[in-house]
C-alpha cells in the first residue's frame, strides 16, 4: 500500500527508500529556504540537480552543505527576460535532459516595482519569468517528466487580472499583487499540463504552507502590523483567516515536502495540472477564509488559456 503523507511530513520522509540515481532535476531559486532544501534532499537520494539563482555567491554559501550527489549552479534572474533567455539557451545548447523541473523561485509582498522589462515585479518575476524559462526548456523535459510550480494559499487573495496585469489602472497592494502571481502559477501549471500530457509530461502547482523563510524579507513592520490587524478583525467577525494564529507554521523540510512529493512520489495522472497541498491534491474551496483548498479561479481551464495567450503577447514569444 502506498504511503500516506500529510501536513507535517518532511522531505526526508517523503523520499524514504527512494533511489533517484540517474534522475536529473532543475530547481529555480536555490539561494535560500525551500529551494536549498529541495536540492539537498534530491541530491541526498542520488539525483543530479541543476539549481538556479540570481546571486550565485549567496547560492554557493547557502548550498555549501550539499555534498552528496551531483549539484550545479547556474545564473538566472527571473526579473530579466534577457537573463531568462540566456540561461535557457545555455541549457538547451548543453542538451542534457531533465526528468523534473521545479519552478520554486519567487518574491513576495514587494513594494510596487517593475522588472527590467517593465512588468509589475511580482507578476513579472513569479509568473512571466518562469513562463518563458520553462517553456523554452520544455524540449529538454523527458517523456514522462514533470513540472512543479510553487504557488501559494495566497492565490485566494486575488485572481489574475487579464485587462490590467501591471496595475496600470488598478490600485496596487503588496498582497493583491502576490495573490495574482500565485494564481498565475497555478493556471500556468494547468495549461502546461494540457499542452504536454500527450507525451506523458505532467504538471502541478503546490502550496508549501506557511514557512518563515526569506520570502518575507520585503515585508516592513508596518505591513506585518496591518496584516495582523486584518487577521484579528477577521477572526473577531468569525470569518477565519488565511494567515491566522491558528495556522500552523511549517519547518522548511515540511514546506518543501509537497514539491518533492509532486515531483517524485505522486501518481503522474493524479497531478494533471492540479493544485496540491500537504502532500495531496487539494479539494476545491469557494471560501477565501479557509486555510486549505483551492479556489475555482485557480483551476479554471478557460482562464488558463487566456493567461497563456496574454503572457505570450507580453513577452513577445509564442510557445
Could you tell me how far CA 36 lies from the centroid of its own chain?
A: 14
Question: Exposure pattern of 141-168 as b/e (b: 16+ CB <10 Å)?
Answer: beeebbbbbbbbbbbbbbbbbeeebbbe
The CB density around residue 88, as the number of other CB atoms within 10 Å, is 19
DSSP class of residue 123? I
For β-strands 202-207 and 280-281, DSSP reports them as: unpaired
Task: Assess whether 275 carries a catalytic annotation.
Answer: no
Name the active-site residue from 172, 178, 247, 275.
Answer: 172
Beta strands in 36-153 (DSSP E): 48-53, 70-75, 98-103, 141-150
* Pair 289, 277: CB distance under 8 Å: no
The CB density around residue 285, as the number of other CB atoms within 10 Å, is 15
Query: Catalytic site residues?
Result: 172
Amino acid at each position: 500500500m502506498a504511503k500516506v503523507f500529510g501536513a507535517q511530513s518532511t522531505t526526508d520522509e517523503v523520499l524514504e527508500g527512494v533511489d533517484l540515481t540517474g534522475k536529473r532535476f532543475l530547481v529555480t531559486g536555490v539561494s535560500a529556504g525551500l529551494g536549498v532544501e529541495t536540492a539537498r534532499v534530491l541530491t541526498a537520494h542520488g539525483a543530479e540537480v541543476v539549481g538556479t539563482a540570481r546571486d550565485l555567491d549567496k547560492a554557493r554559501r547557502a548550498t555549501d552543505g550539499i555534498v552528496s550527489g551531483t549539484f550545479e549552479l547556474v545564473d538566472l534572474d527571473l526579473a530579466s527576460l534577457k537573463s531568462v533567455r540566456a540561461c535557457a539557451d545555455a541549457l538547451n545548447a548543453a542538451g542534457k535532459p531533465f526528468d523534473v523541473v521545479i519552478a520554486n523561485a519567487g518574491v513576495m509582498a514587494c513594494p510596487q516595482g517593475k522588472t527590467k522589462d517593465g512588468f509589475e515585479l511580482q507578476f513579472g518575476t513569479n509568473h512571466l519569468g518562469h513562463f518563458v524559462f520553462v517553456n523554452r526548456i520544455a524540449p529538454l523535459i523527458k517523456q514522462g517528466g514533470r513540472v512543479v510550480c510553487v504557488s501559494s494559499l495566497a492565490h485566494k487573495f486575488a485572481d489574475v487580472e487579464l485587462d490590467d496585469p501591471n496595475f496600470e489602472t488598478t490600485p496596487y497592494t503588496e498582497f493583491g499583487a502576490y495573490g495574482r502571481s500565485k494564481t498565475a502559477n497555478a493556471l500556468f501549471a494547468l495549461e502546461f499540463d494540457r499542452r504536454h500530457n500527450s507525451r506523458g509530461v505532467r504538471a502541478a502547482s503546490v502550496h508549501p504552507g506557511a514557512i518563515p523563510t526569506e520570502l518575507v524579507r520585503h515585508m516592513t513592520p508596518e505591513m506585518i502590523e496591518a496584516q495582523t490587524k486584518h487577521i484579528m478583525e477577521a477572526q473577531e467577525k468569525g470569518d477565519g483567516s488565511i494567515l491566522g494564529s491558528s495556522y500552523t507554521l511549517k519547518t522548511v523540510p515540511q514546506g518543501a515536502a509537497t514539491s518533492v512529493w509532486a515531483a517524485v512520489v505522486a501518481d503522474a495522472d493524479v497531478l494533471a495540472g492540479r493544485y496540491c497541498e500537504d502532500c495531496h491534491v487539494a479539494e476545491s474551496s469557494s471560501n477565501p477564509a479557509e486555510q486549505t483548498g483551492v479556489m475555482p479561479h485557480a483551476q479554471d481551464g478557460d482562464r488558463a488559456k487566456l493567461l497563456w495567450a496574454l503572457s505570450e503577447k507580453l513577452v513577445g514569444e509564442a510557445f
